[in-house]
Structure 1
């Protein structure tokens, strides 16, 4: 075995290889009274080794090191840890959590949930993606969404030292014969649609539909209140300050701070809101 030499940094060692100096991180820990050790070699720079050591120290301090000490942790088990971190850091809203949970439960957990992370292989995974595309008939964009979620989970596992690498990176997802959706609509069809909507919808529902033409999101329209509509001599305006969704019926702020804005309305839109 190549001789390891101490460095100026505790828990970091160096050794020589044919390709130059490499670094090793070794850190002892105790979980529920049971001692263990994190040991990883192959770092090309001291900076990389120190970064990994800091990461490990954080896991120990936050009592998250159990994930690393369990080499057979399954996808379901790791997803729960991954989800808890995102919720604790407030990176996911209630609506995001609901959507992501649904994607995971219906398309990833049912296939790989009980499989240890280290045993999820690229070949089996690609077969499952092909099944989604060509047997289940799912849209290409939907399958890409599920794939991005899977990669986010595995990339987190790599950062946490649970996996050496993400074997599912750079998987190509393409549905043969699928044509890109045309999202453009000509003026004649737009007018035809709006005229028909005005004919069959209630005034309130038509007003909600009409407001989407000003770039408002659904949640922003549902979050409008009387005080957000400003009637001025130079026109009618909407202050976009609040959104409402199924998971946040009492309302919350806009999606991003920059989404707070004033929108000038046409005379027709103003009349609908009076």
Structure 2
């Protein structure tokens, strides 16, 4: 595949080889892109390093969106090396466990603010930093979930957070459109990832998804990566402000 040949892609949110972001990084690399991979801290680095090596990451940099200056340093490094950026894959979300596992009614102000900052406002900040580097247009992708549209048992406060993320994505798409920057969200079905395993009763959610999806099978991170490549390619130049479901049709079931 050469759909992304000559393009520079920044992938944020790789936790390990099984993460959605890793699937996106691999697919973009396979499609010919120059890939930049980030890791959240030194503890996470050994788990992310194999992914960076496998995809041939041209830059491998630390990025904790809660640490002042780290995000700016990543975009500066991209600018210094290529002078441009074509695609950002934003695949990060976080909520303190005590708030994630409780009722929305009981969510603390601090937990809500942190979840919104890491999961949503970080997308706004990345869009702001990416804009001057996307001189010939570009693509910004973020990861959402069906729990942002309907109430999914045990997804709790992350439902409202994902709803905010989707609304933010649409607003960014409108604001960035005149500069030929497209902003979309990908909505994967349940996956066996480390992030997913933090949700209470996740095994039940996985099994229900397998049985209810029209194809009665689960998706893979490679499936998500392939859709990311499609949306980042020039062939998707007319798609913006949209949500691409990668769930085997699960979202059409009542």
The TM tier, using the shorter chain, reads under 0.3
Q: If you compute each CA radius of gyration, which structure gives the higher value, 1 or 2?
A: 1
Task: Identify the structure with bigger relative contact order (alpha carbons < 8 Å, sequence gap 6+).
Answer: 2
